[in-house]
Structure 1
């Protein structure tokens, strides 16, 4: 018997020595005894620690010979993820292996032979526009390259993806197609299946049934799939002949994993394409500034799609200055009139407000008391549906008090507006309209979401009230008017990417209007109609916005012209968290000085949402102008952090390339 190292999905490094009774190779799937049970693991190395006596080394329970070993490139992806994001390797492999597969006690049965996929389609393909044809010609078919497909909303980016995938499958290769949201997956899956009727397609996302996700992983490991389509976790799907990677809506923050290993699926997709030496396409109407800057620097190529296949023009964007025009219950007279005209023509309208619930806070009109979450440093949001106040962070719920807890007054009122209150106002203004509210409270499951989308497309609703769920990727032929309420929120946010996300969101939601037939119109209510962001938005000029914002970031040495890492700490009280970060700052400055690393270490500060689920949180930012230097520093610093004393109740995490600082 020989000894090997096995990597287990474990909250740590996850490498353990075992004995195997037969020849195995790195990447082999095995089941091993662990504690009182057993775990599924991957043979990681044929080298083991020779100092441990044989009698202390357990033997594997089973070698799953029916599954091929994980490819070297896929094992390297796990190693790179652990190295770059400073995460334990065992936690990274846990992100790859589906939970249902890990729980299996027996090896999955060998699949029946499959004749393979096909790129044959039924019916005629849509005619390409000159822009789509140019985009197809610009994307190399072999070798590593990154192409940013910057296409206006409705410009036919998906058709370009499908043609590229067809070329890939025709060469006997596999394709990986990533989307940011589960809600977009069924719609795109339907189009992909319709185009490639005989192709073997699997869909990977967190809402998929456990058995389905496990079967999809096994099929991919066996090379029995042609297309893997999914959300961020699909970036870890195994491949044997990968030929193309596509990341749709590449700017979307949903590609960032915030729990567990804090990886970026978009960035890992680029690394993966480089490792496999295949092309990758990043598509968006509003690209991330990181990708835009990479094009400016010549690392990525940018291809523009500036026209819609139907010839339909982009919707006109008009600003309603709410400093000059009052908005009763959030709806101004010009917006109400536009909705009435739209409904009168038998067309659909969408009113966008990215705040769910009925009112953001319940307030006492006598002493000013406001409803606060007992667990988090946020207000409780009043929900009309169940008559309770909700915390949208920890899930706490309670019934509103009859009298003010501070002064006993009965003058308690819901203040502000969310989608529920907006729905109520619109129903009062348009009593005959069939209204659908689309937010996380009204749509809780994927089947509900799919049904609602079909009903909207079938014209069963006249007026939609929606949050960011409606902002991207959806095509409603009868929708011609979009009204935006609360558009100024991003201008007040103390976050470096706030205006970027605001512009992206507004342009994406504006793109829902006028995608087929009648021209589209967008009305945005704002107190800052002269702000350059709104002027660029009204002109549909993302390039101007990106150029101006990148100039500001370059002057201030902010991402993408600086590279960052964020150390977060939380405890039952704020003082231990800040004390730990003070020690971490001292260690960081000493380390940077000793090695002459050009690293900037900032002071520890409480996080903006300082209290979350009864934990007090603080953070410490470090940054540098060069990624290799910063990462070399972080590797040493992470080791020093593990040696710092701290209370058992304190938790800390180091995040590389944070999206929120």
Structure 2
């Protein structure tokens, strides 16, 4: 007798499930090996179904003895597929860890003397004994059914070394008498920041020193530090203010699952998280913390270790290896992890006994995935909260317009923290570039004076520039030709240090031409500026001062970022120049002055979210100033008289929200409507347009012109990576997305789909 199952087959980019059969009674949530179009694929059983009137293939192998995901997670897969209009095969795949043949393999274990193998082997070795995999799987299935062998999904487990603690033996006065290297001082400073005692591996996790460094041995030899069995039994706790206690009580005892914590930078939101987490731990629940950037994880993990020294922490993001991801995934599913910290992809992990999800900096666009599989991690949290009955805390100093609308309508709870704990909010000064005296075409005289004053007081200055590189583009002053990428319809960025022109979209790189490629004139000029040019300019005024540059051109790896952050944590005056990277969770206590250059750039984008995102960006950058004592922020602009800058100057994000909600409602943009972008691309421009137009007509016919659908148009960048592009946009509320998916299935990989993306500049 056969049992029939609906299976989502991983990596097939299919919207449908497929029916397979088995003589065994299986359970939804188990993974299996199946023959899909003559290829061996892994799939997940989503449900049992009835017998089909057509020929159904048999399941080749059962990979999991018991389901690794529950019925609730299966429901999440199904609902997320409909919500994001994504193939169910791909949504199902990302719920599981990355599958790599050399790291995750099936082991065949002999259980009887009748087994054709004497010892445990990997399935690939077993396949070598047969002409085809099909023949091998048939034999293996017989062996399994007769209990002659068993299968085990193997993944490399690291041998966990016993934690060794390092403690600081000398006080500050004694340390001043010691001669210590810079690497040694980094260790000492980290110990002082963590109550004089840390686990040794924290030094490597936080990139304080590299494995194999002699600095640790030298300090031990000098008696400055020593190994100890000491373990912090008493967590490092901070007493909450009355306002924080009030918010915590409301969060813990409210009848809603979604809580929005709207608090200014430095208001102590993290301490509220920690107290809420403790409450869930008492009820034997697990916690997931999501961050927009992996750069934020080390400093948060350090704080969590101090607050919850007895809890097991798991980390999951793109900066760790596939082997580490697999290890963390299985530990999470088996209930071995108490606190899971990760970037957006961690939102899918079926963490056992999950009770609380915290999304810090919920406004950040990094929570939205654009590549291939498009989804919004915050919306996934909403789905999980509903399906699994999980408490959620969304936190930001600049919440999204969407969440604020939900709060105003009573769908979620809103909690406000309007004052910093340790200091006051920084003063913000708006400088009109048209009126102020300039010392260069980038800096006003006033800005240079403020920088000099701050450095003289041994404090740090942070300068924010919207772009990297030396200049935004090269232009021929004779004919007006702008040098563009040959693969993309976008200007190349000029990098003076390498004397190269680079495309920051496709990675194309070329030398600077000696003459204009159009008219042959040698009169090429650079226009605009990025971080490289800002650094060059600032060194003209402060040649002897330390300047640290942070952007994607300099910071290429997670390790690079950690090294840069450790450098700017040093207590010495310096100038930090960076792009958007420096706006995210950078908590350096001695940053006294923040300068924002070219603030109009983001505000002028042809984008319906530009107002919201620019306000959020400026307020987040401003929040880096004066974390321990009152700081100052200077914003340079050509539009100083606008209401927008008045709101930013007064830290009045509420005004920004009111203005933006009014505009969005007036023009029917999200969150008052749904915005879905279908992006078609092809090497042939006419084919790209035809595919987009055919799709547009099909949707119009399907909905009988009852919803607003915009005709195919070129996006802001009409050509990207050698492909011409056209987009079709739905700007309306669709009650039946499954109806829409019927058409989408026909187009498959022909178009990319973005549901309510945070930006339309795709």
Query: Who is 1:163 aligned against?
Result: 275
Distance of aligned partners of 1:121 and 1:474 in 2 relative to their CA distance in 1, 3 Å threshold: farther
Matching residue within 12, 25, 28 for 1:26: 28
Query: Who is 1:108 aligned against?
Result: 154
Q: Distance in 2 between matches of 1:126 and 1:641?
A: 52
- For 1:512-531, list aligned pairs within 5 A: 512-517=624-629, 519-531=630-642
The structural deviation recorded for 1:18 is 4.2
Q: Is the 8 A contact 2:7 2:45 kept in 1?
A: yes
Q: Is the 8 A contact 1:101 1:214 kept in 2?
A: no
Secondary structure of 1:349's counterpart equals: strand
Q: Is the 8 A contact 1:434 1:460 kept in 2?
A: no
Q: Distance in 2 between matches of 1:14 and 1:652?
A: 17
Asked if 1:566 is matched to 2:677, the reply is yes
Secondary structure of 1:140's counterpart equals: helix
Matching residue within 708, 713, 728 for 1:600: 708
Query: Who is 1:502 aligned against?
Result: 614
Query: Who is 1:316 aligned against?
Result: 427
The structural deviation recorded for 1:474 is 1.3
Distance of aligned partners of 1:429 and 1:109 in 2 relative to their CA distance in 1, 3 Å threshold: closer
Deviations 1:80-117 (A, max 9, x none): 111111211101122222224676222137999x9xxx
The structural deviation recorded for 1:466 is 0.7
Asked if 1:259 is matched to 2:371, the reply is yes
Greater shift in the superposed pair: 468-477 or 33-42:
33-42
Q: Distance in 2 between matches of 1:132 and 1:39?
A: 51
Q: Distance in 1 between matches of 2:395 and 2:661?
A: 20
Query: Who is 1:217 aligned against?
Result: 329
Q: Distance in 1 between matches of 2:414 and 2:71?
A: 31
Query: Who is 2:519 aligned against?
Result: 407
Please identify the structure whose Cα radius of gyration is greater.
Answer: 2
Query: Who is 1:336 aligned against?
Result: 448
Q: Distance in 2 between matches of 1:369 and 1:50?
A: 64
Q: Distance in 1 between matches of 2:48 and 2:738?
A: 26
CA RMSD, Structure 1 to Structure 2 (Å): 2.4
Query: Who is 1:544 aligned against?
Result: 655
Q: Distance in 1 between matches of 2:105 and 2:50?
A: 25
Distance of aligned partners of 1:126 and 1:352 in 2 relative to their CA distance in 1, 3 Å threshold: same
Secondary structure of 2:434's counterpart equals: coil
Asked if 1:451 is matched to 2:559, the reply is no
- For 1:125-524, list aligned pairs within 5 A: 125-140=237-252, 144-310=256-422, 312-327=423-438, 328-459=440-571, 462-517=574-629, 519-524=630-635
Gaps of 5+ in 2: 107-152, 161-230
Query: Who is 2:754 aligned against?
Result: 655
Asked if 1:640 is matched to 2:743, the reply is yes
Q: Distance in 1 between matches of 2:232 and 2:16?
A: 44
TM-score of the two chains, using structure 1 as the length reference: 0.92
Structure 1 ranges of 4+ moved more than 6 A:
109-112
Query: Who is 1:7 aligned against?
Result: 8
The structural deviation recorded for 1:326 is 4.4
Query: Who is 1:553 aligned against?
Result: 664
Q: Distance in 2 between matches of 1:110 and 1:360?
A: 47
The structural deviation recorded for 1:513 is 0.3
The count of residues paired between Structure 1 and Structure 2 equals 639
Distance of aligned partners of 1:306 and 1:289 in 2 relative to their CA distance in 1, 3 Å threshold: same
TM-score of the two chains, using structure 2 as the length reference: 0.80
Matching residue within 621, 632, 639 for 2:729: 621
Secondary structure of 2:49's counterpart equals: coil
The structural deviation recorded for 1:64 is 2.4
Q: Is the 8 A contact 2:236 2:307 kept in 1?
A: no
Gaps of 5+ in 1: none
- For 1:75-90, list aligned pairs within 5 A: 75-90=74-89
Deviations 1:234-287 (A, max 9, x none): 110013311111111111111111122221100110121121212211100000
